[in-house]
Amino acid sequence: MQLGFIGLKYSGKSTLFELLTKNHFENANTGIGEVRRGQVIVEDNRIQKLSEIYNPKKTTYAKFDCVDITGISSDSRQNISSKYLESVRQVDGLVAVIQMFDGVNFDGSDFKIDPINNIKSIEEELVISDLMILENRLEKVEKLKFRAAPIYDPKEHEVLLKCKKILDEEKPLRNENFSIEENKLLSGFQFLSKKELIIVLNFDEGNYSKKNEYQSEIGATFPNIAITSVSALEEKEIQELDSEEQIEFMKDMGIDEPAIIQVIKAAYKGLGLISFFTVGEDEVRAWTVKENSNAKESAGAIHSDLEKGFIRAEVINYNEFIKYNSLSKAKENGAIRVEGKNYTVIDGDILNIRFNV
């Protein structure tokens, strides 16, 4: 899974990116601007506990690949910020970082904390970027229709016109219901406003106590978007302390969970993801799949051969497994189920895939 970090300039987006990747990232120049790429480890206490039980040669947590791009300035219509967004067109979801502290705008004027309008500005930029792509393709499709070219696809034409109507109304595509066939036709365009958007409110120490109030207000305006709150700069400074001091400082600030956990939870919720596990003496590993994935599809996340040759899955959920601390004891007590390919995997399932290729 890939996450793209976006936001208005000075929002603290890059600070959050550095915090989550623990300053392990690579710089790349796209010819338009600088892009940074790193990974976020999905910390999961269940994996830690399973590793303590199995003492495996290798422990593998789930990971998100992350891309950080240059911030969008609030005069976006008059610059080339849409081109910067091309660097995140291939990601699965977008993390929009919203400034929730006093500061300055790109023109030196005082910044006003206004998360709803900031989110609208970001949504507007995504819509504009998609319109540029769509109108270019629509022009070509209509030329094909005019020439009665054999490769003209009336279904593609129809869904592009549907998208144009939505975007012309300055609405994101993610809120529209598309059929399976329409989604297939649109998949190659990687429209940004169709991707899931996760909002991260980035507070300073003085405003962090107001997070619940702001989240409630924003949630009422954007009910279908996952929202969480962090204090990236303060946490980045806390990260330099030893473990005991970190806990004390976070407690003083009222931070219940580190930013990395908050953002990952929001990403899992926004993208509709779950984790399942495989265990053994060689490796304990977390795997990430979409909610409602069946056993056969989940086997494919491990390896395509497991999906092709799928026979059955032996299943026990983590919460049940922890009563026995071993698959053999769980099996002796009849706690392991044998499921077929259509079984819907749920978060925390431990799977042992039986297959034949």
Percent of the chain with pLDDT over 90: 65
Q: How far is Cα 25 from Cα 33, in angstroms, rounded to an integer?
A: 16
C-alpha torsion angle, residues 256, 259, 262, 267 (rounded to 10): 180
* Host domain of residue 303: 292-355
Q: How far is Cα 203 from Cα 207, in angstroms, rounded to an integer?
A: 6
Query: Which residues, listed in sequence order, are joined to residue 58 by a DSSP beta bridge?
Result: 283
- Average model confidence (pLDDT) across the chain: 89
Give a yes or no: residue 315 inside a domain. yes
Q: Which two tokens stand for residue 340?
A: 């077929």
Give a yes or no: residue 152 inside a domain. no
CA distances from residue 51 to 41, 229, 286, 302 in whole angstroms, order as listed: 16, 30, 11, 19
Closest CA to 129 of 281, 44, 6, 309: 6
pLDDT for res 256: 75
Grouping H, G, I as helix, E, B as strand and the rest as coil, residue 192 is helix
CATH number of 351's domain:
3.10.20.30
- Residue 269 pLDDT more than 70? yes
Q: How far is Cα 13 from Cα 147, in angstroms, rounded to an integer?
A: 48
**pLDDT tens readout for residues 17-51:** 999 998 888 987 766 567 899 999 988 999 999 99
Euclidean distance between the first and final Cα of the chain, in Å? 27
Q: Which two tokens stand for residue 342?
A: 């259509």
pLDDT for res 77: 44
Give a yes or no: residue 308 inside a domain. yes
pLDDT band at 92 (very low <50, low <70, confident <90, very high): very high
Q: How far is Cα 123 from Cα 282, in angstroms, rounded to an integer?
A: 46
Q: How far is Cα 313 from Cα 337, in angstroms, rounded to an integer?
A: 8
Q: How far is Cα 198 from Cα 203, in angstroms, rounded to an integer?
A: 16
Q: How far is Cα 339 from Cα 134, in angstroms, rounded to an integer?
A: 44
Give a yes or no: residue 219 inside a domain. no
- Alpha-carbon Rg for the chain, nearest whole angstrom, is 23
Give a yes or no: residue 309 inside a domain. yes
Give a yes or no: residue 137 inside a domain. no
pLDDT for res 80: 42
pLDDT for res 78: 43
Helix axes 115-146, 211-221, angle to 10 degrees: 30
Q: Domain count for the chain, please give it.
A: 1
Give a yes or no: residue 335 inside a domain. yes
Give a yes or no: residue 100 inside a domain. no
Contact 113, 102 (CB under 8 A): yes
pLDDT for res 83: 64
Residues 6+ apart with CB under 8 A from 31: none
**pLDDT tens readout for residues 224-236:** 899 999 998 888 8
**pLDDT tens readout for residues 238-249:** 877 777 777 777
Average confidence (pLDDT) over 123-145: 93
pLDDT for res 199: 94
Contact 237, 250 (CB under 8 A): no
pLDDT for res 305: 94
